[in-house]
Amino acid sequence: MSTSPCISYPRHLAIIMDGNGRWAKQRHMSRVLGHREGLKAVRKIVKKCGELGIEVLTLFAFSRENWRRPEEEVQSLMGLFANALKSEISKLNQNQVQLRVIGNLSRFSKSLRHAIEVAHDLTLNNKGLKLVIAVDYSGQWDIIQAVQTLIGQVKAGTLQTEAITQDLFATYLNLSDLPLPDLLIRTSGEYRISNFFLWQLAYTELYFTETLWPDFDEDALNKALLFYSKRERRFGCTSEQHAEINVEA
Ligand code: FPP
């Protein structure tokens, strides 16, 4: 870790970026412009997380429910993703960022899927920040796709039903090779998970802020990280046991 020795940083930070539309509305601008400003905030936060040595940053960029938005907004978001991939990828690569995109990509255009594959392959061996973009992702979808794979294996006789434990099930979910999220931030004053990670958030610290996503800057991130560093993560133990574990560690 490159910064304050007094702050313990999350290994995996997940963010529900919310409030682009309201940010734009407050300024009598179109929602599309709000998303463009949102992208500027994404750049700042990715850079900062890389500098802090955070291992994984997952950004919830497009939910399965977002397909219900007006066609024009969906198209402009798709355009924004495609352009951002093209324009940012070489800089991300230079900075050793490993890019992953998770979600059901089948509804995305062929060219966008191709650009995602190229970006993924290019950055696969990078050793810096793992940047995960969740698109057309939902926690319920993730669980269902895991169940379908498991059932397929049971039917094929390669897996015994009795062998399905909590730990085994978790390996069928997206990002099972990465640490679970330690901290979830949701911006814009909404206090919901909105079908983002469900299984993965079992022990995650939750931080909600009124700040709209385009205004979420380094100071806002620092506040969230300070909140996290003050939490006592007990994972079901008592405070006393937790203190003992910390002394032993
Ligand atoms: C939520 O705000 C934001 C989104 C649905 C899209 C997020 C996209 C970006 C931040 C830009 C591009 C990002 C990447 C990773 C390339 P909202 O529209 O729901 O805001 P509202 O609740 O105020 O209407």
Q: Is there an atom of ligand 1 within 6 Å of 64 CB?
A: no
pLDDT at position 88 is 95
Residue type present at position 107: R
pLDDT digit of tens for each residue in the chain (249 aa)? 445 666 789 999 999 999 999 999 999 999 999 999 999 999 999 999 999 999 999 999 998 889 999 999 999 999 999 999 999 999 999 999 999 999 999 999 999 999 999 999 999 999 999 999 999 999 999 999 999 999 999 999 999 999 999 999 999 999 999 999 999 999 999 999 999 999 999 999 999 999 999 999 999 999 999 999 999 776 777 777 666 655 554
* Residue 149 to residue 173: CA distance in whole angstroms: 10
- CB of 38 within 6 A of ligand 1: the answer is yes
Report the C-alpha gap between 52 and 29 in whole angstroms.
34
**Whole-prediction pTM:** 0.92
Strand locations in the chain (E): 12-16, 56-63, 98-102, 130-137, 183-186, 205-208
Type of residue at 3:
T
Q: What are phi and psi of 60, to 5 degrees?
A: -85, 100
Measured in Å, residue 52 CA sits from the centre of ligand 1 at: 24
Q: Is 60 in the pocket of ligand 1 (CB under 6 A)?
A: no
Q: Which fold has domain 12-137+180-248?
A: Undecaprenyl pyrophosphate synthetase (3.40.1180)
CA dist 72 and 173 (Å) reads 32
